[in-house]
Chains A and B, each alone.
Chain A
């Protein structure tokens, strides 16, 4: 086993198209989350709402390393992963509106976005509950000899759960192709890592199960993409799991209910200087890869996309009450 530290490496040179693509992805996420916050205040969206602002480089960078055949298992802070994976902001927003055209037919809401077509397995809102599922998906792939990777996103809080340790052990013991992605934003809801972990180096815990690990600057999309590609290549070659820790930060409170009293404004402002979108834009302009007009175009496109998604969600419909009990059980028998 080995732990790589890829965050300090020189960013790889990228071309114009790819820079546009990465910036577009991160900008879509930011715009969607801003719109969600607005719609929550307007009471269009209810329930718990956990936003991803600040962590965009992680979802964009990691998902860049997956193919369409691979699977994604995510958490309750999963709008970003769903958006990048599924492509459409419309069905995601419709879900948050509780409409039947939503990606979970209005039965899941913000925390339970699902999509069979893109192998997007939620939207799992019990902390660490998704890890064993990812292990099982990979077990099925191994038993059926399908060369696929299952990616599993979770926060630093999940590392304290037994299911984290059980899952890392199982994946290593059975040599299963799982990419464990720890989105370490330093807080398990409102309690800092240092108050909950005797050992704060999270990668070392995975390494203790003989899993290869890497820790990366989660505010740098190129570093994340690079690390995730190396990790998935390693998984595809060896068939074994890999643990990737992405060190990141959420700019907003844990959820819309959180008054955010447990961290200082100065700390938040300090991290905002490392905004993955602003720093990437600056870097691309400095390197002459993107122009101001490229960025304006992206911002305009993204604003239009999200506005159209809101209009779509508004126009969607409520499922009739007679259908309330549909899907407690399957409507089709097994083949």
Chain B
């Protein structure tokens, strides 16, 4: 809906993703969406609701529960000149297609000596926080970011949810888009003429001078909430949304740390071998002498995700934990 004359309208993250898909299918006749329950069901998170009626079963293609089969078919279709958007219901099930993503999509261009690029976009829901327990709550985007040959993007805003898709489809190589399932109901505003956004750079979402929080996806929302609370206590937090985990835009966070001299990384992945570990290492390698305090990380605890609500909340990074960690780091914890 449009809000008066401002050219702004309010919509959910889910609506924004759907608009991105719709626009892509309208703009390019070679774009199509396929995945489990994307058509008749309307998408497991209702992202593609109504698109089957609008575009028909060829371009909104329901697949069997064959993750490896249909991701591989997406790769083949991309090699054959199509621009597939493959939806994997959640990152947990992407493990059934990991071979095709990691051993085929990521390597085809290189091992063919530059002959066969794979312009596929794979979207999937990620993240915990909905009491879905150990098999449905993984955050593996950082784990995929280990692999050369694929790009990993993670929209945390309405604008990115809509705009990253088209840019990903323009990319000649595989792009994986991770949508945190906790964000689908998030509302926000978008200009009526909002379009594609870059997928190469991180963004400073809030400026501050005392500490830099480096984060992405659902943890960005929590970090911004924490920054608001901290501001009331006189602590000015700079918050950076990484947006893209591979290739990592180090320049934006290194520049910020050179100014704030403190860095906290908030990441829903588990700590060991995580993207937060990579970021921390790059900070040490590049701006060690700018630091006034050790780099800190707030990650998920290293347990399979429990079902019980109080347990799950304790596992995930939370706003109050960010607040207290920042207070400790800036020496304001009393």
Contacts and interface: CB of A to CB of B under 8 A. Distances in A.
Q: Are A and B a genuine interacting pair, yes or no?
A: yes
A104 B112 CA distance: 5
Interface of B: 30, 32, 58, 63-64, 66, 68-82, 84, 99-100, 103-104, 108-117, 119, 148-149, 170-173
A129 B79 contact: no
Contacts of B73: 132-133, 135-136, 139, 167, 170
A136 B76 contact: yes
B103 A132 contact: no
Given A107-B110, A329-B149, A137 B80 contact: yes
A123 B111 contact: yes
B113 A163 contact: no
Given A103-B113, A334-B119, A328 B148 contact: yes
Given A135-B69, A163-B72, A169 B77 contact: no
Nearest 6 Cβ contacts at the A-B interface = A136-B76, A132-B72, A140-B80, A166-B69, A105-B113, A114-B112
18 contacts: A102-B113, A107-B111, A123-B112, A126-B103, A133-B75, A135-B69, A136-B79, A137-B77, A139-B82, A141-B80, A143-B58, A144-B30, A163-B69, A167-B72, A326-B114, A330-B117, A333-B170, A334-B119
Contact of A115 (B64, B80, B115): B115
A136 B100 CA distance: 12
Contact of A328 (B30, B110, B172): B110
Contacts of B99: 126, 129, 163
A173 B64 contact: yes
Nearest to B119: A334
**Is the interface on chain A under 10, 10 to 19, 20 to 34, or 35 or more residues?**
35 or more
A114 B115 CA distance: 8
Contacts of B80: 71, 136-141, 144
Of B76, B103, B148, B172, most buried by chain A (CB within 10 Å of CB) is B76
Interface string A127-171: 001011111111111011000001000000000001100110110
B100 A140 contact: no
Contacts of A136: 72-80, 84
A121 interface: yes
Contacts of A140: 76-82
Contacts of B114: 105, 326-327, 330-331
